[in-house]
Structure formats: C-alpha cells, structure tokens
Amino acid sequence: MHQSETSKDWKWQIANQISTRDQLDAYIDLTDSERAAFDEKIPLSFAITPHYAGLLKHAALRSTVIPTGYENHVGTGELADPLGEEDHRATPYLIHTYPDKVLFLATSFCSTYCRYCTRSRMVGKPSENAFTFEESFRYIEQHTEIRDVLFSGGDPLTMTDSVLDELLTRIRSIPHIRMVRIGSKVPAVLPMRITDELCAILRRHKVWLSLHFIHAAELSPETEAACRKLSDHGIGMVSQTVLLKGINDNSQTLTDLFYGLLEMNVKPYYLLQCDPVRGSAHFRTSVEKGIELIRSLHGNISGLAVPQYVIDAPGGGGKVPITGIEQIRREGDDVLFINYEGKEYRYPDPKNEL
Ligand code: SF4
C-alpha cells in the first residue's frame, strides 16, 4: 500500500477505485487462486477503495472483497433475493416490509463491494430506472403509518453532500417521519468521506447511522478518526456485523471488534446470520454456531458490547433475535423459527455443504 494514498480525499478514492485484477495486483500480491477467479465469470460487482486495499494485509479481510471461485457455486436454498425484497417493492426505490418502516434504496453504488452482499443482485449494476425519487416521497406521504425510513442501497454516504442534503430535507418535511437512518460501510472503506460538512448535514437532519463492520482489522486510525468526528457532532451510531465463516466466527475476534466499536462510540447492534444469497455457502456458519458464539459473549464481556444475534427471515419475515437453541428446530437442511408475527420461517442451513 502506498501510505500517502490513505490520506487522499474521498473523491480521489472513488475516482481511483480498484476494479480490475491488474489494478489490484499493483496493490497486493494475489494468490494463484485469486488470480484464477478473475478468469472465471465473476457474478458479483467488484471494486475496492485504495484505502481498504491497504487493509488487505490482514488475511481475514481478503476473501470478503476479493472474488473467489466459490461465488459461482449456488448452494442449497440460496437465492438472488433471499429476503424477498422484490415482493415488497412499493416503488422502484422503496421496499415496504414492516408496517411502520421503509427501506429507501437511494443508490446502487458502493465504494467497495462485499462478496456476501444481500443485495448483490443490484449493487454496482446499472439501474433500469432514472433516479427520480418523487414517487417514493409521495408514497411515504400517503402512508401515514410509516415512521421510520432507512436509506440504504448501495451506500448512501457515497452520494454528494448536496444530493444527501436534498434527500434528507425532503424526508424531514414529511410530518409523520420520526426516525431517519442511513446504512453505510463508508467509515470502514472510505473514512475520509466523513467531513465536517457531511457531519453537519447528518446532525441537522437528526440522522442515525447503522454502520457495517466485520472485523477489528477494519478499525484503522482513519476509521477511528471518522467515528470520533461523527460522535463529536452528536451523530448516533450502531453497528451491524455479518457472521462470516473463517473470518469472524470465534469469540475472541468478535470481542475485539465489539470493544473496538464501543471505544469509538459505536454501539454493537446486530450480529447477523449471513443471508442465503447466491454464492454465499462458503461464508455461512450454521445457526447452532451463531447461538454458541452469542452465548459465549453474554456474561463474559460488557453487556453494552454484546449485539443481538438475528436471522433475517428469508422471504421477508423480518429480523428475528435468536438467544437460545430452544428457539429453533431443525428439519433436514433447514432451520425453522418463529418471527415477530408468530409465523414460521425457514433458513437453509445445510450441513457439510462447503
Ligand atoms: S457496503 Fe453494503 S450494500 Fe455495499 S456491497 Fe457491502 S453489504 Fe452490499
């Protein structure tokens, strides 16, 4: 990694995104199998910021952003849209699954693409729709039961200050909206995006951030400075961590991450069972393993550092907190559990797949 490049500004980082094998090879030594993966058809979008490429000396992070041949293996029960979001699409940019909450897909762009992304079907791919959001705002205005808007995508914090300010001003003009959140991995992959100007916009519109971190190796000095700046501006922050086999599926790794986040004023919120998206079998642990891990944290580390372990029920049943083995039952390759509405959902969890 060329050290000076970590300090270049966020627009430079995006303009210099690493999006080919040769560009990546200039930053890190690729293994033969990583090189070979680029020769196959890569089903998911690929790009990494120069900043994040500098963190790939940590072995745990490599396979989360560098393509591998496993992506072409579609495991049992895996789907392009595992959460059934398309069935709940209210407008081209709104997913309305829970009664009082909508997911607003503000962009399909990310500065760095994760290989386990739930929305890999659409992130980094050209959109069929022009990005005009008025229909979506009107839908929210007409549905007075909606209180909570989560902007996601893609990563909304890759949008410019003026576009974000406009979106947030419009959403805050709707009287029944009480909660506005943005889901983002920017503090980990593009921390220089967190400027005083951006913080002032987020503060003015009372935005909470739901930040995506998977490993303490992501908590670079730049990331720490970004989170401190957000905290100093009074921005509420929680984290979401996807449980990933061989990457963060042990107590010590999770403890290091969650304490590290707390030290940056980010409250660990969700430890997510990895969604059964196409090509994710090599990333997914069993649900039993997830339960074992979360139980190993309870009582052994500060309660503030312990997130909820949740399964996002495939097909649109919402997030279900899982605290013990008695909440699940196994039926062949599936794990069954009950969601907040009392409905039964199944998560494909085949033993010995990869
Ligand atoms: S940052 Fe979020 S939306 Fe973007 S690729 Fe990663 S998981 Fe998907």
Confidence bin at 128 (pLDDT 50/70/90): low
pLDDT band at 3 (very low <50, low <70, confident <90, very high): very low
Distance CA(16)–CA(47), nearest Å, equals 10
Most confident of 1-5, 66-70, 146-150, 349-353: 146-150
Find out whether 273 and 287 touch, Cβ atoms under 8 Å: yes
Q: How confident is the model at residue 1 (pLDDT cuts 50, 70, 90)?
A: very low
110 ligand 1 Cβ < 6 A: yes
Whether ligand 1 lies within 6 angstroms of the CB of 154 is answered as yes
Q: What is the pLDDT of residue 42?
A: 87
Scored b (16 or more CB within 10 A) or e, 313-323 reads: bbbbbbbbebe
Residues 109-126 have a mean pLDDT of 94
Taking only the tens place, the pLDDT of each residue in 18-77 is: 999 999 999 899 999 899 999 888 889 999 999 999 999 999 999 999 999 999 889 889
pLDDT digits 0-9 by tens, 270-317: 999 999 999 999 999 999 999 999 999 998 999 999 999 999 999 888
Among all chains, which residue has been given the structure tokens 């312990």? 306
For the segment 309-338, the average pLDDT, to the nearest whole number, is 94
Q: What is the mean pLDDT of residues 167-191?
A: 98
pTM of the predicted protein model: 0.95
C-beta 182 within 6 A of ligand 1 = no
155 lines ligand 1 (CB under 6 A): yes
CA 93 to chain centre: 18
Count the neighbouring beta carbons within 10 Å of the beta carbon of residue 120: 23
Reported as a single tens digit per residue, the pLDDT across 140-176 is 999 999 999 999 989 999 999 999 999 999 999 999 9
Determine the residue of 51, 117, 118, 242 to mutate for testing ligand 1's pocket, defined as the one with the most ligand atoms within 8 A of the Cβ atom: 117
As given in the structure block, the two tokens for residue 325 are 């083995």
Q: Is 61 exposed, middle or buried (0-12, 13-18, 19+ CB in 10 A)?
A: buried
CATH of the domain spanning 3-348, picked from 3.10.20.30, 2.40.30.260, 3.30.450.30, 3.20.20.70: 3.20.20.70
pLDDT of residue 352: 63
Q: Where are the domains of the chain?
A: 3-348
Half-sphere exposure of 183 (CA within 13 A, CB side): 22
Strand partners, 267: 238
Q: Find all residues with CB under 8 Å of 326, minimum gap 6, and list them.
A: none
SS (H, E, C) the chain: CCHHHHHCCHHHHHHCCECCHHHHHCCCCCCHHHHHHHHCCCCCCCCECHHHHCCCCCHHHHHHHCCCHHHHCCCCCCECCCCCHHHHEEECCEECCCCCEEEEECCCCCCCCCCCCCCCCCCCCCCCCCCCCHHHHHHHHHCCCCCEEEEECCCHHHCCHHHHHHHHHHHHCCCCCCEEEEEECHHHHCHHHCCHHHHHHHHHCCEEEEEECCCHHHCCHHHHHHHHHHHHCCCCEEEEEEECCCCCCCHHHHHHHHHHHHHCCCEEEEEEECCCECCCHHHCCCHHHHHHHHHHHCCCCCHHHCCEEEEEECCCCEEEECCCHHHCEEECCEEEEECCCCCEEEEECCCCCC
pLDDT for position 132 = 87
The token duo for 138 is 């009107």
**78 CB-near residues (< 8 Å, 6+ apart):** 276, 277, 278, 279, 280, 281, 348
Task: Give the closest residue (by CA) to ligand 1 atom 7.
Answer: 117
User: In the chain, what percentage of residues exceed pLDDT 70?
Assistant: 96
Q: What is the pLDDT of residues 243-265, one digit of tens each?
A: 999 999 999 999 999 999 999 99
* Per-residue model confidence (pLDDT) at position 4: 53
Average pLDDT, the chain: 94
| Whole-number Å distance between alpha carbons of 46 and 235 | 30
Contact (Cβ atoms closer than 8 angstroms) between residue 289 and residue 273: no
At residue 258, the pLDDT reads 98
Ligand 1 pocket test, pick from 104, 123, 151, 193 with the greatest ligand atom count within 8 Å of Cβ, gives 123
